[in-house]
Structure 1
Amino acid sequence: MVFEMQAVTARQIEAMHKDPRLADAVFALSAYDKNPKQPFDEPLSERLDLDKSWAILNFLFDRAAPPFNSTAPAYSCDLLSGASIGEPKDYGPLGLWDVEDTKELAAYLKGVTWEQLLAHFDSQEMWEADTYMVEAEDIGDEIGERELREYASSNFQALRNYVLKAAEAGNGLLAWVG
């Protein structure tokens, strides 16, 4: 189960609301296709692939939810939220974040640091919460925990940069676990 996010323009969002099959077409595009058939008359930007780190990040966002000492606005960050659109996939619906939702997510991510999230990293709690990718053998294993923290950290930075860039461009987001 990997998490992917696609920045989409306001026009593309409007088109997907009119015809949800377009969201399914975006989902179906493969990064491995040499010349994929674009579902819109304007090109899609590069996708963000958080691989399997999304579950750890969601756990940390949940535990670090404001209020905490941050410039972030009060916000509940769930990467799997967004308005359901298109046909449900194996691991749930596609989530469409409109332009305003994307700006709110960007404002939240801009005010959150990795150190604030890291303060809530607890492999025992993550394992008990059945967080994807966290195994019983990771608990107390210094090397295993460090690898999970580094993996989540690099993907947090990628997520933050991607969402900030999308918001600055006036775009929304389409997200899914596949």
Structure 2
Amino acid sequence: MGVSISFISATTEELDRAAKDPDWADQCLSELYGENFPMPDRPYGGPDKAFGGLQFLFDEAEVGLEFVMDGFQIRDDGSLFGWDAEQIDSVARELRATPWERLAAHYDPERMAQENAYPNMWKFDPEGQLEWLEGAYEELVAFFGAAADRGLGAFMTFSF
């Protein structure tokens, strides 16, 4: 299965309640990802397993987004974070201003493999992996943009 990151939009009220009651947050996420998933008014998405490769590119291109450091921790085990609407809006603006080509210019499969950028498959199919990262980036831009346009925050799940 591997390590992955995903986002689903959340209201300010949901994030506030989740911060106070992590057990409620689990129930809320179960409903959001339940039988009515995906809901048209709930943007979702994320880099999935591509987060490590994208983080490498963000760091090299000096894009201010850190998946595992941004947001606020909801679960003590580090598997659930909340991102408030202001943070979502800020990231959306930065991502919209960052064309894929700026990130792709920093793609270095050799170095990414040496530094163990997750999931460390960069040398096996360098061109295919770059396309995979581009698709994950486009999904991330779409998620943050849609959530920001609706004034929403987000839950970020970090599964490992």
What TM-score, normalized by structure 1, do the two folds share? 0.76
Deviations 1:32-79 (A, max 9, x none): x5368xxxxxx972531432111111111111115xxxxxxxxx2112
Q: Aligned in 2, Cα 1:160/1:35: closer, same or farther, shift over 3 Å?
A: closer
Aligned residues: 154
Deviations 1:61-108 (A, max 9, x none): 111115xxxxxxxxx2112221101241xxx33121111111111111
Q: What is the aligned partner in structure 2 of residue 115 from structure 1?
A: 101
Q: What is the aligned partner in structure 2 of residue 13 from structure 1?
A: 15
1:77 aligns with 2:77: no
Larger Rg: 1
Rounded Cα–Cα distance in structure 2 between residues aligned with 1:22 and 1:120 = 41
- Per the alignment, in what secondary structure is the counterpart of residue 77 of structure 1? coil
Rounded Cα–Cα distance in structure 2 between residues aligned with 1:128 and 1:168 = 39
Rounded Cα–Cα distance in structure 2 between residues aligned with 1:44 and 1:94 = 21
Q: What is the aligned partner in structure 2 of residue 151 from structure 1?
A: 132
- Per the alignment, in what secondary structure is the counterpart of residue 86 of structure 1? coil
What is the Cα-based RMSD across aligned positions, in Å?
2.3
Instruction: Name stretches of at least 5 consecutive residues in structure 1 with no aligned partner.
Output: 37-42, 67-75
Instruction: Name stretches of at least 5 consecutive residues in structure 2 with no aligned partner.
Output: none
Which residue, 59, 62, 67 being the options, matches 1:65? 62
Q: What is the aligned partner in structure 2 of residue 174 from structure 1?
A: 155
2:126 counterpart letter in structure 1: E
Q: Aligned in 2, Cα 1:55/1:28: closer, same or farther, shift over 3 Å?
A: farther
4+ residue segments displaced more than 6 Å: none
Pick 1 or 2: higher relative contact order, CA cutoff 8 A, min separation 6.
Answer: 2
- Per the alignment, in what secondary structure is the counterpart of residue 78 of structure 1? coil
1:28 positional shift: 4.7
Contact 1:114 1:156 in 2 (8 A): yes
Rounded Cα–Cα distance in structure 2 between residues aligned with 1:46 and 1:166 = 6
